[in-house]
Structure 1
Amino acid sequence: MKKTILILVTTFIILGCKNEKQSNGKLNIVTTTSMITDLVKNIGGEHINLQGLMGSGVDPHLYKASEGDVTKLASADIIFYNGLHLEGKLVEVFEKMKSKKTIALGDNLDKSTLIGSDYFASNYDPHIWFNVDYWIESTQYVAKILSEAIPDKKPIFTTNSEVYIKKLKNLKTKLSSTIETLPKEARILVTAHDAFNYFGKAFNFEVVGLQGISTATEAGVQDVQKLSAFIIENNVKAIFIESSVPKRTIEALQAAVNSKGHHVIIGGSLYSDALGNSGTAEGTYIGMFEYNVNTIVNALK
């Protein structure tokens, strides 16, 4: 990480620490996670130069900036990131970028409403995108920041944000209707790590992760045995792997449950810390959320 920071500082010096626009005159915007990239794209559209650092299947908890990322960050006018220590390996880089406008979406939220954690450095669960209302607030925040940076495009950013917020509200209604088809006693979500607590709080699911909030923590034998007992006791039908987390831990959990005479299936792979492939429905925030809920409900019925 120290080497990365040194490269970053050197790159700043070469570029003169200026917020250089590309030849098309648009501001350079850099985002970290694919969820944030999708959000900013919906607001900024063709009026910004947008580059995302993390693609499909990338775990932001463990992500380290490459030299190519350093160049992108050094040439950025605005950097949008999640904050709340989600991008653990990049936080120190952002703190060194005093001349850059770094925007953490988590900083805009009322901390008293966030889910706390005694086991994570920030004391807050960083997976805020699984609360649609938080994503609506983040949409408004991004539109505000972009409007301040490019005042003549404010009407466009405002309109784009209003259109996207309407889509997010419709998404929330649609998800609620789908979840209502699942009996309340079946609403137990077991996944690889604690990424879905905001989802659980919003849609009345009991959520249990094999690993903690950060995937930097490893699940041990005792964790597997404890969770397997919980699955059997609550007659959980399905457990889920995650696209950005190795599936071996969930496969070990399934084996532990089945060895005790209780059959549990792997209900599918959920998108947790990253969207699906670009160009697919799951490569968008709305498509990802719809896919996740349909997968969960179909497996637990």
Structure 2
Amino acid sequence: MRKKSGIRNLLTRLPIAAALLLLAAAVSACGSNTAGEGGAANGAKVSAVATTGMIADIVREVGGEYVETVGIMKAGVDPHLYKASEGDIGKLDRADIIFYNGLHLEGKMQEILEKMARDKPTVAVSRDIKENELRAGDPAAGTQHDPHIWFNVKHWMSATEVVAGELSKLDPEHAEAYNANADAYLQQLRELDDYVRKTIASIPESQRVLVTAHDAFGYFGDAYGIKVMGLQGISTASEAGSKDVTELRDYLVANKIKAVFIESSVPRKAIDAVIEGAREMGHEIVIGGQLYSDAMGEEGTEEGTYIGMVRYNVDTIAGALK
């Protein structure tokens, strides 16, 4: 027979009551090394995982020094088509809390997120936006509502408040810091909202037409008074057909629109077909610039933050359409 060792061996030599006390202490000690319902213990940071870069940016701003934030989707990644890797699933499994967009943006991760929600806080940052403030989705792509809420800065303010509330609930010891960080970030977002509104208003009204590869900028158009046309639908899972290309080409020619925009996370092939078709009809259209739609820029750049991304997009749009 093999010799018993460690706690098990010791327990066999103690009276029952003492053994139970020792076992309880051992379990408690093991549990104290991981983050639990009340937040991280022993000074460890809360481990948070976010699906998109935009959400990860909120969590870093609000969490500050008390939260270790990991974003799964990097620059140039299309969240509509993204499939979680084994490494991603490991990160989600080890996290104390998960933040995702919701509204079917991460459509191919839905089953994984539902599974994670059984064991830990798994939070849709879009949850507090009122139903009547959400744009209609694309039933063919499985979306009841348009998920691109970050293009209305006020909706992203709502997302920030959700993050602050959930971090405070998970880690009440640092709730004051989370709320203070959120208040400071919300002020920056108010200033951003004002900047976007004034910049778009500076474009001549007849030229306020934003044409992009897919219909990601609907909330932007509604909030800031610019007509938005996307070659593809709300989800990039459905490709543009020849009819879509022809109809958009004809609109641009008839309305003498001179610039269209490509997106960092969407192939430009269909947009190039529109430009070529207009050229054959004697109307020149140029690429007004590359916009960040479903993904931010590279980490460490200005466009790698939500505020920097929005300002870059707005300045690019205004510069081309003016």
TM-score by length of 2: 0.86
User: How big is the shift at 1:23?
Assistant: 8.3
1:153-191 CA-partner distances (Å, limit 9, x unpaired) = 111111101100000001111112211220111100100
CA distance in 1, matches of 2:148, 2:130: 14
Contact 1:34/1:56 (8 A) holds in 2:
yes
CA distance in 1, matches of 2:301, 2:247: 37
Aligned pairs, number: 285
CA distance in 2, matches of 1:224, 1:49: 45
CA distance in 2, matches of 1:24, 1:185: 57
User: How big is the shift at 1:70?
Assistant: 0.9
- Which residue is 2:86 aligned to? 67
Residue 44 of structure 2 aligns to which amino acid in structure 1?
G
- Which residue is 1:91 aligned to? 110
- Unaligned residue ranges in structure 2 (runs of 5+): 1-30
Counterpart mapping for 1:1-301 below 5 A: 25-97=44-116, 98-119=118-139, 120-301=141-322
User: How big is the shift at 1:258?
Assistant: 1.1
User: How big is the shift at 1:192?
Assistant: 0.3
Which entry has the higher C-alpha Rg, 1 or 2? 2
Mean Cα deviation higher: 54-63 or 174-183? 174-183
Sort the Cα spacing of 1:35 and 1:191 in 2 relative to 1 into closer, same or farther, 3 A.
same
Sort the Cα spacing of 1:229 and 1:175 in 2 relative to 1 into closer, same or farther, 3 A.
same
User: How big is the shift at 1:123?
Assistant: 1.4
Sort the Cα spacing of 1:23 and 1:268 in 2 relative to 1 into closer, same or farther, 3 A.
farther
Residue 105 of structure 1 aligns to which amino acid in structure 2?
V
Contact 1:19/1:75 (8 A) holds in 2:
no
1:115-163 CA-partner distances (Å, limit 9, x unpaired) = 0135442310000000111111111111111011111111111110110
Please state whether the residue corresponding to 2:163 is helix, strand or coil. helix
CA distance in 2, matches of 1:37, 1:114: 22
User: How big is the shift at 1:19?
Assistant: 5.6
CA distance in 1, matches of 2:242, 2:169: 51
Please state whether the residue corresponding to 1:60 is helix, strand or coil. coil
Matched-pair identity in %: 50
Sort the Cα spacing of 1:244 and 1:108 in 2 relative to 1 into closer, same or farther, 3 A.
same
Mean Cα deviation higher: 71-80 or 253-262? 253-262
Please state whether the residue corresponding to 2:107 is helix, strand or coil. coil
Residue 69 of structure 1 aligns to which amino acid in structure 2?
D
User: How big is the shift at 1:95?
Assistant: 1.3
CA distance in 2, matches of 1:19, 1:122: 35
User: How big is the shift at 1:250?
Assistant: 1.1
CA distance in 2, matches of 1:267, 1:178: 16
1:56-88 CA-partner distances (Å, limit 9, x unpaired) = 111000001111101101101110000000001
CA distance in 2, matches of 1:160, 1:278: 21
Contact 2:167/2:175 (8 A) holds in 1:
yes
User: How big is the shift at 1:112?
Assistant: 1.5
1:76-113 CA-partner distances (Å, limit 9, x unpaired) = 11100000000011011111221121100122211121
Residue 212 of structure 1 aligns to which amino acid in structure 2?
G
- Which residue is 2:16 aligned to? none
User: How big is the shift at 1:24?
Assistant: 5.7
Contact 2:138/2:146 (8 A) holds in 1:
no
Contact 2:138/2:233 (8 A) holds in 1:
no
Contact 1:22/1:28 (8 A) holds in 2:
no
CA distance in 2, matches of 1:214, 1:236: 25
CA distance in 1, matches of 2:71, 2:89: 12
CA distance in 2, matches of 1:195, 1:24: 41
Contact 2:168/2:178 (8 A) holds in 1:
yes
CA distance in 1, matches of 2:138, 2:300: 38
Residue 192 of structure 1 aligns to which amino acid in structure 2?
A
Please state whether the residue corresponding to 2:77 is helix, strand or coil. coil
CA distance in 1, matches of 2:42, 2:264: 37
CA distance in 2, matches of 1:103, 1:222: 39
